[in-house]
Amino acid sequence: KANNIKNAKPIETLNSVKCVIAIASGKGGVGKSSTTVNLAIALSQKGLKVGIMDADIYGPSIPHMLDLKGKVEVRDHKLIPMTAWGISAISIGMLVPTNQAVIWRGPMVMGAVKQLLSDVKWGELDIMLIDMPPGTGDVQITLGQSIKLDGAIMVSTPQDIALLDAKRGISLFQKTRTPILGIIENMSYFLCPRCQEKTYIFGQDGVKKEAKALNIPFLGEIPILPAIRTASDEGIPITVQQPDGPESQAYHAIADLI
């Protein structure tokens, strides 16, 4: 159950949300948003009601990845999430023009996060995934102070630097006593479309070993595939285009662990 944290004003709109999980990364470009979207769809294909809150205020990519255009409907002073491929989503990108870079100071960013938390009429949800901005800034702190997350999942690429940044993110969640559900390695290997052979471009098991050292569950490896990227760019995620294909297998396997 999504609990509101002690001393913080309860967020009524989250009462109908059973579980809130943050998807985070230490740095940008590791595939956090595309992993969030594909995991959300994989979870909904298992019969769960899933929502995505795009907390990446400076770089909201969820509307584009779900091909959601236009503005959000407002009813009874509440924002109504948009829906695509069976999931609900809300993003700052639906409230301000996406071609306009968001150049906001901390207090405005925090205000936007609070609005996305408290002014959205989600209805009944089994799981809400929060697509966090990369790093450890204002949004992470505001969220940590406003709600009790049921868990956090880190996304990292195999490169050492991404992993190092991921460790910083993990320690932030540990400080707010958020259970770390695990770490996902994205862009682990290239899967040959002809022979299905795996090529570990950046070395094998880097994130897995680190997860073990940090005593955090390792949730799985996602291949680096052109089809995953083009699907995201087209706004029709790979889990929608090829739900049973080898490209989507990793997302289903991880969804089964959540």
Question: Where along the sequence are the contacts to ligand ADP (CB under 6 A)?
Answer: 25, 28-34, 61, 186-187, 222, 224-225, 228-229, 232
Comparison of 82 and 231: residue with beta carbon closer to ligand ADP: 231
27 is an annotated ligand-binding site residue: yes
CB of 125 to ligand ADP, least distance (A): 22
CB of 34 to ligand ADP, least distance (A): 4
CB of 75 to ligand ADP, least distance (A): 30
20 is an annotated ligand-binding site residue: no
29 is an annotated ligand-binding site residue: yes
32 is an annotated ligand-binding site residue: yes
Residue-wise DSSP of 62-107: HHHHTT--SPPEEETTEEEPEEETTEEEEEGGGTS-TTS-----HH
Comparison of 23 and 117: residue with beta carbon closer to ligand ADP: 23
CB of 77 to ligand ADP, least distance (A): 31
CB of 78 to ligand ADP, least distance (A): 27
33 is an annotated ligand-binding site residue: yes
28 is an annotated ligand-binding site residue: yes
34-38's contacts with Cβ under 8 Å and 24+ in sequence apart are 34/65, 34/228, 34/229, 34/232, 34/237, 35/155, 35/184, 35/186, 35/222, 35/251, 36/62, 36/129, 36/131, 37/62, 37/65, 37/66, 37/232, 37/237, 38/228, 38/237, 38/238, 38/239, 38/248, 38/251
Comparison of 177 and 229: residue with beta carbon closer to ligand ADP: 229
Q: Residues 173, 179, 41, 187: what is their CA dihedral angle, to the nearest 10 degrees? A: 60
**Residue of minimal CB distance from ligand ADP?**
31
Comparison of 10 and 203: residue with beta carbon closer to ligand ADP: 203
Quick check: 207 and 222 in contact, CB under 8 A?
no
Comparison of 36 and 45: residue with beta carbon closer to ligand ADP: 36
Residues placed in the known binding site: 26-33
Residues placed in the known binding site for ATP: 26-33
